[in-house]
Amino acid sequence: MFKYIFSNKKVLTRNTGTYPITLSEIKEKSFYFLDNPSDTSQDSYINNVLIPNTIKDWERSTKYLLLDQEIEAFIPNIQFINTSNLEMIVNNINVRSVEEIKYYPEDWDEIASKSILSTDNYLVTSEIKNSSKKIRLKKDKGSLVLFPITNNFEVRYKGGFEANDFNSLDETIKQALCVQVATQIDVKQGYCEDYYRDVIESAYAEYEIQQDYVCVI
């Protein structure tokens, strides 16, 4: 089976109102703040820089979405979709729903908006641990021939924790994020950088998206 990946992505919306870790939780893990519990001089920097950047790093590295967001993604140069031997891979995990698939058909007049592919024409597989959703056209719906233009075939999906409700977030992830921020603080203050290394690396490895072998186009 040929596999293609929605490799070009654009974030349409991303809820940055709250994050899955808090300042107080980070300070509990930081050796510097254990020795200096009354220091508040870095609070703003931690809240506004370190926490957001750490969440971005997690999502970028593992492809596991945390913040509630909507993404538009494209298979750059695909022109023919055959139902019998093609699988299209969503390049994120913790994706809640595939909202819409759009494309320019072979006879596109270069003016009209993209056509919306009916949900009757395709199926979306479920995520299994760190194996992402796959999209396949149904076998009885024939094939699609697309207009030859970059980023023609696109999918729009929602991912992360809805409304940033992190109550069901795995504690392994939460602890790894907390100690990742704490380590950045501690290293800056001259403390050892290796104490939490295994915790961080283990969580990233456990939740990183499973990379399928795909066609590069």
Q: Which residue has the higher pLDDT, 26 or 80?
A: 26
Query: Residue 210: is its pLDDT beyond 80?
Result: yes
Mean pLDDT of 19-48: 97
DSSP 8-state assignment for residue 126: P
pLDDT digits (tens, 9 = 90+) for 65-122: 999 999 999 998 887 776 666 789 999 999 999 999 999 999 999 999 999 999 998 9
204 backbone dihedrals φ, ψ, rounded to 5°: -60, -45
Q: Which residues pair with 71 in a beta bridge?
A: 11, 157
Split at pLDDT 50, 70, 90, the class of 1 is low
DSSP code string of 1-52: -EEEE--EEEEEEE--S--SS-HHHHHHH-HHHHH-TT--TTHHHIIIIIHH
Query: Residue 217: is its pLDDT beyond 90?
Result: no
The mean-pLDDT minimum among 38-52, 134-148, 165-179, 188-202 falls in 134-148
21 backbone dihedrals φ, ψ, rounded to 5°: -130, 155
Token duo for residue 57: 């790093």
Split at pLDDT 50, 70, 90, the class of 213 is low
Mean pLDDT comparison of 76-80, 125-129, 157-161, 188-192, highest-scoring range: 157-161
The confidence score (pLDDT) of residue 80 equals 73
Mean pLDDT of 189-216: 83
Token duo for residue 76: 């750059």
Rounded to whole angstroms, the Cα distance separating 77 from 152 reads 7
The confidence score (pLDDT) of residue 83 equals 62
Split at pLDDT 50, 70, 90, the class of 195 is confident
Mean pLDDT of 168-180: 97
Split at pLDDT 50, 70, 90, the class of 137 is confident
Q: Which helix (H) or strand (E) holds 55?
A: helix 51-62
The mean-pLDDT minimum among 2-6, 109-113, 151-155, 170-174 falls in 2-6
Mean pLDDT of 153-179: 97
User: Which residue do the tokens 């915790």 mark?
Assistant: 199
**Cβ atoms within 10 Å of 211's Cβ, excluding its own:** 13
Q: To the nearest whole number, what is the mean pLDDT of the chain? A: 91
Rounded to whole angstroms, the Cα distance separating 162 from 97 reads 11
Q: Which residue has the higher pLDDT, 101 or 141?
A: 101
How far apart, in Å, do the first and last CA atoms of the chain sit? 16
